[in-house]
Structures are given as C-alpha cells and as structure tokens.
Amino acid sequence: MATIVILAVIVAVVALIIGVAAGKDRYAEMSEEEFEAEAKRASLLGAAVMGLQKVLEPKHVEYMMLRDKKVEGEHSFSGDPPSTDAPPRKE
C-alpha cells in the first residue's frame, strides 16, 4: 500500500514538472514595449549583482572580466587591428 502511495506521489510530481515546463510562454503574450522593459530590468539586476560582487570579491570580478576579454580576443580574426581597450603589456 505504501509503495502505491509513493509511486502516485512520484507520478504527480513528474506530471507537475512536465505541466510547468510545457506551459505557455510568458513572453508570447507580451508587447514589444513590455519585453524591452523586462529585459532592461533583468540587465539592471545583473549589473547590481556584479557591483555587489565587486565590493565583496574585487579580485574575483577582475579575474572574470579579464577572462571574458581574453575569450573575446581569441575569437577575433588574425587580420583585425588590436583592441584599444586591452591593458598595456608589462615588460
């Protein structure tokens, strides 16, 4: 009897997960202005989190930013002029 109850709960949870995942898209019914406002809010939230992390862990944020610039530089073509925002080389 307990096995049947556990199995029913598992099936209900899986059905709920599938229902939520396959539900309607919240962006499908948004107007373009609403979508832009949502994207701006998400961007501001990301910037706020990055600022907070920079206060708490400044070295980690600097490392992440340098890593992103390095990855960006690896994807440029060899004929591209050098980036002007690259830090000066220490010799």
Q: What percent of the chain has pLDDT over 70?
A: 77
pLDDT surpassing 80 at residue 80: no
Residue 16 lies in a domain: no
Q: What is the pLDDT of residues 59-77, one digit of tens each?
A: 887 887 788 887 666 665 6
Q: Report the C-alpha gap between 77 and 65 in whole angstroms.
A: 21
- Give the residue numbers spanning the domain of 46: 33-74
Q: Is the model more confident about 11 or about 40?
A: 11
Mean local confidence (pLDDT), 72-84: 61
14-20 contacts: CB < 8 A, separation 24 or more?
Answer: none
Q: Report the C-alpha gap between 20 and 59 in whole angstroms.
A: 39
Look at residue 75 in the predicted model and tell me its pLDDT.
61
Residue 12 lies in a domain: no
Task: Please count the structural domains in the chain.
Answer: 1
